Amino acid sequence: MTDALMSLWSGLQASPLLWVTVTTVIYLLALMLYKRSGSHPFLLPVLTSVVAIVGLLVLTGTPFQSYEAGTRFMSFLIGPATVALAVPLYSQLTRLKSIWKPLAVALVVGCFTAIFSALGIAWLFGASTETLLSLAPKSATMPIAMEVAQLTGGLPSFTTVAVAITGIAGAIITGPILRILNISDPVIHGFTKGLSAHAIGTAKAIQVGETNGAFSALGLCLNGIATALAVPLVLKLFGLF
C-alpha cells in the first residue's frame, strides 16, 4: 500500500499542475482563516500559506527546486500583477500631484534606510559578502529584488526569502506602529505599506480601501525602481560591487 502511494505521489509530482493547485488551495484556505479571525495580523494569508507549504514540502520530502519548477507559471504572473497595480493609482492622480514632494522625501529616506540597515545589521553579525549582496535589495518587490541580486552577485533564492520575510513583517507591524503614532491618513498608511512591505503590504492595503491600496501600489513601484538604482551605488560605495 505504501509503495502504491509513493508511486502515485511520484506520478503527481511530475505534473506541472500539482503544486499550482496545492498552492492555490492552501492560499484560499489561509484567506478564509484570515477573514474568520477578523483580519488578525499574525494570520496573514501569505504567512500561514508559507508555513503550510513548507510543512508539506518537509513531510513529503519534496525538494524546493521541484516546487519552484512546478510553480514557475505563478512566479511569471508576479510581473504583470505588479504592473496592474497602476490601475487603482490612476484614480488618485489629482491628489498625487498635490503631495508628490513629501512622498518623494519619504521614498528616498525609506529606500536608503532599508538598504543601509540591511547591510549594517548583517555586517555586524559577520555575514559574508554574498549574503550582504543578497540582502541589500530585500525591500524591493520580488522580481526587481531578484534581478538586482543576480546582477550584483548575490543569491536570488536567498533574496527571495529575505523579501518574503520583509513583506510579512512589514505588513504585520506597519499598521500598529502608525496607530500608536496616531496617524490615520490612508495615503500615509498605504504609501508606508508599499514602501516597507512591497506586494504583501499592498495586498493588505487593498483590502482596507481604494486610497490605501492605490498609494501602497505607488510606494511599491517607486521603491522598486529606487532600490534598483540605489543598491549598486551603495554597494560600490562600500567596495562590494
Half-sphere exposure of 110 (CA within 13 A, CB side): 26
For residue 14, is pLDDT > 70? no
Phi, psi of 79 (to 5 degrees): -60, -60
What is the per-residue pLDDT for 237?
87
Q: What is the mean pLDDT of residues 204-212?
A: 82
Give the DSSP letter of residue 42: G
What is the per-residue pLDDT for 11?
55
Q: What is the mean pLDDT of residues 164-186?
A: 88
Question: 227 by DSSP, 3-state: which?
Answer: helix
- Region of 198 please: left (phi>0), alpha (psi -120 to 50) or beta: left
CB 196 within 8 A of CB 168: no
What is the per-residue pLDDT for 51?
87
Stronger pLDDT, 74 or 225, i.e. the higher one: 225
What are the cell numbers at 226?
A: 529606487
CB 197 within 8 A of CB 171: yes
With cut-offs at 50, 70 and 90, classify the pLDDT of residue 7.
Answer: low
What are the cell numbers at 106?
A: 519619504
Q: How far apart are CA 111 and CA 128, in angstroms?
A: 22
What are the cell numbers at 218?
A: 505607488
What are the cell numbers at 59?
A: 513531510
What is the per-residue pLDDT for 1?
42
Mean pLDDT of the chain: 84
Name every residue whose Cβ is closer than 8 Å to that of residue 121 and which is 6 or more positions away in sequence.
Answer: none
Domain spans, the chain? 1-76, 91-241
Q: How far apart are CA 239 and CA 241, in angstroms?
A: 6
DSSP 140-178: S-HHHHHHHHHHHT--HHHHHHHHHHHHHHHHHHHHHHH
The pLDDT tens digits for 61-86 are 888 777 777 777 777 776 677 677 67
Which residue blocks in the chain are alpha helix, DSSP H?
2-13, 17-36, 45-60, 64-70, 72-76, 78-84, 86-90, 93-98, 100-124, 129-135, 142-152, 156-180, 186-208, 210-237
User: Which of 43-47, 161-165, 222-226 bottoms out in mean pLDDT, i.e. has the lowest?
Assistant: 43-47
> What's the predicted TM-score (pTM) here?
0.76
Of 85, 41, 48, nearest in space to 175 by CA: 41
The pLDDT tens digits for 95-123 are 888 888 999 999 999 999 999 999 999 99
- Region of 40 please: left (phi>0), alpha (psi -120 to 50) or beta: beta
